[in-house]
Amino acid sequence: MKKLLLTGFEPFLDFSVNPTMKVVEELDNAVVGEYQVIGRILPVDFAKAGGQIIDLIEEIEPDAIVSLGLAAGRFKMTPERIALNLKDGPVDNEGNQPTDELVRKDGPAGYLSTLPIRNMVIRMIEEGLPADISNTAGAYLCNNVMYEALHYMEIHKKDVPSGFIHMPASHELAIEHGNVPSWPHRDLVKGVRICLEVLAAEEASESSSENAVTQ
């Protein structure tokens, strides 16, 4: 069975709950199409998160990578279009606060997601979930991890679909923070599962087409 690496983040800043962590824990070991989901939680630490996603890629050798992040304030599920070669933003959990730093000095300005983000959005909307493509993953840890995974695939010439999805706050987090748009946990899980199903279906279709050509 193919392996899909699904990552989330630990709680950070003044968010004592990170819904991505709970979604990843629930979907860990799930089977979606031809994929077995392998869930892992990343630290909110500029010095460690990028290296850890690379370590996981080399350890697990996934056939696809989907990373999740919290975008408190957004009210839609938003697959990201691009990761920028930039580290910036508030302090991380270890007190690091890079300003206008490059993720990779030898890397390009950005990498486009290799996930089927348009079809993911279409399918979520069809299933009654607000969704849209986002054109910025910011410059915090979410962008950092997305860039590192795509950069690794580029320099190692690996055809492994990889990208990032931002999600709204959960109701649990919104209760803590007050005026923050939120979704129930079950819908956050549903949205991510739909995205994984779209990815699995498209990869299976491409594989079938390739096999037909070679026969």
List, by residue number, the catalytic residues.
80, 142, 166
Torsional sign, CA 158, 159, 160, 162: positive
Buried-state track 143-167, b at ≥16 Cβ within 10 A, e below 16: bbbbbbbbbbbeeeeeebbbbbbbb
Task: For residues 160 and 120, give the distance between their C-alpha atoms in angstroms, rounded to a whole number.
Answer: 17
The residue to which tokens 């290296």 are assigned: 51
Collect all residues with Cβ–Cβ distance below 8 Å to 122 and sequence separation of at least 6: none
CA distances from 7 to 19, 100, 118, 158, 176 (A): 12, 25, 21, 19, 24
